[in-house]
Amino acid sequence: MSILAAYVVPHPPLIIPSVGKGQEKAIAQTIHAYQAIAQRCANHCPETVVVVSPHAPAYADCFCVSTEPELEGSMTQFGAPQTTLSEKNDLNFVQALASAAAQERVPLVGSTKNQSSLDHATFIPLWYLEQAGCKASVVSIGLSGLSSEEHKRLGELIAKTATQLNRRVVLIASGDLSHKLKADGPYGLAPEGEVFDREITHIFDSGDLAGLFGFDATFLHKAAECGLGSFQIMAGALDKIPCTHELMSYEGSFGVGYATAAFESLESPNNAPLDRQAYIRKINNAGIAHLKIDPYVRLARYAVEQFVTAGNMPSLLQDLPLELREKQAGVFVSLHKFGQLRGCIGTISPVTGCVGEEVIRNAISAATQDPRFEAVRPSELDDLTYSVDVLYPPMPIASASELDPKKYGVIVTKGFRRGLLLPNLEGVETVEQQLAIAKQKAGIDSGDTDVELERFEVVRHDRGGQSRNESKRS
């Protein structure tokens, strides 16, 4: 055997009820996902659970693995001394990993006696596994000050060791995201924090773990990230293993980013190969609110995947926010592949009964009816990112002086010809440029001033789950 599955989990102490004492309700989605992960892990019946933690003993020039026979811990430092754990260390796995590390020249040392206690970032996921009835030996590993490539190499050795020992292994990558998401949070606010969390959750959602290795060190420092090294070790462990990928939750309620994600081996006897229609049925049955970040974007993705794979127009999901089920608005849906536009179709004014139906209709049209592109193929689905622009009702204006290409989109009309351009497009800096492009799209002569003008504002929902009044693509 090898790695059966790997899971990303955060480690806020208050997620333990005896510590949170009710505060944990503010991150209910995280708790729901944590419980689901613990049950999945138990279902795999692992012999060994490897936990990688940013709060385990760490050194600048090497990794540390616990070598004590028994690993014990409690929530004493968080006011709950009654909450304790005692876990058996898998010393055979530790010894085999140390041998492989020495052979491959990956610096790995054992722990000392005063390092036998479980740190809270290891304790918390193990507590949830115990609640789910998961019985397994444990291997506890810390991070280091070494390069991201060395973290990946250690992950590769964990997978290699599991294979050599024919051991059923689940890996837990414990780590919070940014600690700087709110001005009133414990660590304050930094714009890099939101960007970091958006990128990491997109990486988990897309399954493209190579993206974990491209961050600038200065940016990471400003973002005050916590778990990237854990995630990089996980990426190394999964490097040669075909697996599913699923972002299960993301919350930043306390100014710290908490993400959960699941990566499960397709080679495990407990996992059938990923069936896309079954995946779609799962989303349809479970809803998208607690699994995904932005319901507009996820609804667009759901619509495209169901249409491209099953050939039918999906029904509106029942657990969408009221604004999607009850309001009406014009909507543009854009698809991108590797950063390049792959389709964009929209409606200036609503043509369906609600925004959700508008998203479904235009998402499918963007994937299949944009005349600039061939229809999206099933093999492309995992490479697509989505954005949804919801248009405020257009307002007639008397002259071009009332336009601002950064703030307002424009509609140009002459007779039956009508052209629209979204706001804040890259390369469109002036009103003159904005009008010229809109006229060109409508087939109106660029010098023709006998036109009707309307302006509108846009709320964008992008792949990272953000809603903002800006667009950066055509």
Ranges of beta strands (E only) in 359-430 are 384-391, 395-397, 409-414, 417-421
Q: Give the whole-angstrom CA distance, residue 196 versus residue 309.
A: 32
Specify the pLDDT at position 282: 42
Residue of 64, 446, 37, 3 whose CA lies nearest to 261: 37
Q: What is the pLDDT of residue 427?
A: 81
Mark whether 14 and 130 lie in a shared domain: yes
- Summarize pLDDT for 324-339 with one digit per residue, the tens: 988 999 999 999 987 7
Helix (H) or strand (E) holding 206: helix 191-206
Q: Do 315 and 193 share a structural domain?
A: no
pLDDT bucket at 250, cuts 50 / 70 / 90: very high
* CATH for 45: 3.40.830.10
The burial of 84, by beta-carbon neighbours within 10 Å (0-12 exposed, 13-18 middle, 19 or more buried), is given as middle
Spatial contact of 330 and 391, defined as CB atoms under 8 Å apart: yes
Q: Are residues 82 and 150 in the same domain?
A: yes
Distance CA 64, CA 143 (A): 7
Q: Distance between CA atoms of 367 and 381, rounded to whole angstroms? A: 10
Task: Give per-residue burial for 297-324: e unless 16+ CB within 10 Å, then b.
Answer: bbbbbbbbbbbbeeeeebebbeebeeeb
CATH number for 315: 3.30.700.20
- Residues in the chain, how many? 474
pLDDT tens by residue, 97-155: 999 999 999 999 998 766 668 999 999 999 999 999 998 999 999 999 999 999 999 99
Q: Is residue 32 part of a domain?
A: yes
Domain that residue 415 falls in: 395-456
Same domain, 161 and 297: no
Question: Residue 85: what pLDDT?
Answer: 95
Give the count of alpha carbons within 13 A of 388, CB side only: 31
Instruction: Tell me the per-residue pLDDT of 208-237, one tens digit each, with 9 for 90 and over.
Output: 899 999 899 999 999 999 999 999 999 999
Looking at the structure, tell me whether residues 188 and 89 fall in a common domain. Answer: yes
Residue 64: inside a domain: yes
The pLDDT value given to residue 194: 92
pLDDT of residue 424: 81
User: Quick check: 343 pLDDT over 90?
Assistant: yes
**474 in a domain, yes or no?**
no
Q: Which of 225, 247, 264 is nearest to 301 (CA)?
A: 247
Say if residue 378 is in the same domain as residue 400. Answer: no
> By CB neighbour count within 10 A (0-12 exposed, 13-18 middle, 19+ buried), where does 86 fall?
exposed
Asked if the model's pLDDT at residue 276 lies above 50, the reply is no
Virtual CA dihedral for 179, 181, 187, 193, nearest 10 degrees? 60
The reply to whether 118 and 226 lie within a common domain is yes
CA dihedral angle for residue 379, residue 380, residue 381, residue 385, rounded to 10 degrees: 170
Cβ burial, residue 341 (10 Å; 0-12/13-18/19+): middle
Question: Which DSSP string corresponds to 170-203?
Answer: EEEEE---BS-B-TTSTT-B-HHHHHHHHHHHHH
Task: From 360, 386, 412, give the residue that closes a domain.
Answer: 386
CA distance 46 to 427: 54
pLDDT at 81: 95
pLDDT the model gives residue 268: 59
Specify the number of domains making up the chain: 3
Half-sphere exposure of 184 (CA within 13 A, CB side): 2
One domain for residues 46 and 83: yes
Task: List the CATH number of the domain containing 428.
Answer: 3.30.1490.150
Among 165, 4, 5, CA closest to 96: 165
Is the residue at 286 inside a domain?
no
pLDDT tens, position by position, 377-422: 988 888 898 999 999 888 999 999 999 999 999 999 999 888 888 8
pLDDT per residue as tens digits for the range 46-76 = 999 999 999 999 999 999 999 999 999 999 9
In this prediction, residue 466 carries a pLDDT of 36
What is the structure's pLDDT at 322? 87
User: What is the secondary structure of 289-347 as a DSSP string?
Assistant: TTT-S-HHHHHHHHHHHHHHHH-SPPPPPTTS-HHHHH---EEEEEEEETTEEEEEEE-
Cβ(324)–Cβ(296) under 8 Å?
A: yes
Closest CA to 310 of 386, 268, 250, 364: 364
Picking from 347, 368, 386, the residue at the C-terminal end of a domain is: 386
Identify the domain boundary among 274, 308, 326: 274
Q: How far is CA 89 from CA 48, 69, 70, 138, in A?
A: 9, 5, 6, 5
**Domain-embedded: residue 71:** yes
The predicted pLDDT at position 29 comes to: 86
pTM: 0.60
Categorise residue 296: left if φ over 0, alpha if ψ from -120 to 50, beta otherwise. alpha
Same structural domain for residues 228 and 369? no
Cβ neighbour number for residue 392 with a 10 Å cutoff: 15
Query: Tokens in use for 222?
Result: 């400003």
Q: In which band, very low, low, confident or very high, does the pLDDT at 25 lie, cut at 50, 70 and 90?
A: confident
Give the span between the Cα atoms of 200 and 197, in whole angstroms: 5
One domain, residues 134 and 269: yes
Q: Are 107 and 196 contained in the same domain? A: yes
104 or 269, which is more confident: 104
Regarding whether 142 and 90 lie in a shared domain, the answer is: yes
Give the model's pLDDT for residue 94.
97
Instruction: Note whether residue 467 is domain-resident.
Output: no
Average pLDDT taken over every residue of the chain: 87
Angle at alpha carbon of residue 278, lines to 360 and 369, rounded to 5°: 30
Residue 283 lies in a domain: no
Whether residue 221 is contained in a domain is answered as yes
Output phi, psi for 290, to 5 deg: -90, -10
The C-alpha atoms of residue 7 and residue 42 are separated, in whole angstroms, by 12
| Alpha-carbon gap, residue 225 to 107, rounded angstroms | 24
Q: How far is the C-alpha of 84 from the C-alpha of 456, rounded, in Å?
A: 58
